[in-house]
Structure 1
């Protein structure tokens, strides 16, 4: 009797194990199937969205419109640069002789950047040698620099909006290399 019951129990256990394996396989397959379907659906959505955008852009944004958009962006950039430079010149014009160490407001070049050699203040500007002044003038596209460092500095100060000019002052100093800064009203 016990042997018969053991055999029946073994058969029942094997049936339960087979049923468990079948359920596990079904569940895993169903789970994997759901994951794959979701991933494929997401991928399809992404691809469809990219294709729709490409078609809309190709059909609705004519090359002329894109060219006009780029032109307007460039004009806006130029206006922003001009406004920045105008505000900087206005602020630089407010610097007085007591503030020669006050930081100069930057002027942007045509490409929208500021020169790496832009002087920090008037004192630094006046300390630049003739070649550095000429290089800065060329970098900003100013008129052809002259051979006179003083004239070039005066042009550069005017370009930066500074209300100063270098003048020789034999009364203050008979030495020809010594200058002083005069306020231009």
Structure 2
């Protein structure tokens, strides 16, 4: 029994110390809750990858000035303080991809789209779609409910394009977990998950 007790204590110590050691690969972040290593690109990307969500904590995402979306990819600031990366094609397309509608604002100043044909689409002659409608690449409007329904409704099929429909739907944001780090580097969290 004593041997089992010693093995159990050493196992817990190894697991706990593992959670504070740097990840073996460069460019990785270790989740404090589980010890799992994730790519730093997953930090503050709007998806909870650590068990306690420390990769998406308000403290981490607002205190650290690192790029949240790839390159110049647009982002939506969500009401809960998180954000969502969206595709350029989703800007001014007549569909609110951001909860606050920011991807559909200031569309009169958006440069014209350049489709693969190289022809310029002049948005000034296209009908203005309502917020409940989707603007097809050719400029016509269809109901947002018809987008990514596996049936092309736009004359050009842009409502079923691979880049639009391949992105998985946004999942609801998890309950926020609050965490702090004191001057000695000790973590404190209100989360009850391990």
Pick the TM interval, shorter chain.
Answer: under 0.3
Structure number with higher strand proportion: 2
User: TM-score, normalised to structure 1's length?
Assistant: 0.24
With normalisation by structure 2, the TM-score equals 0.24
Greater helix percent: which structure? 1
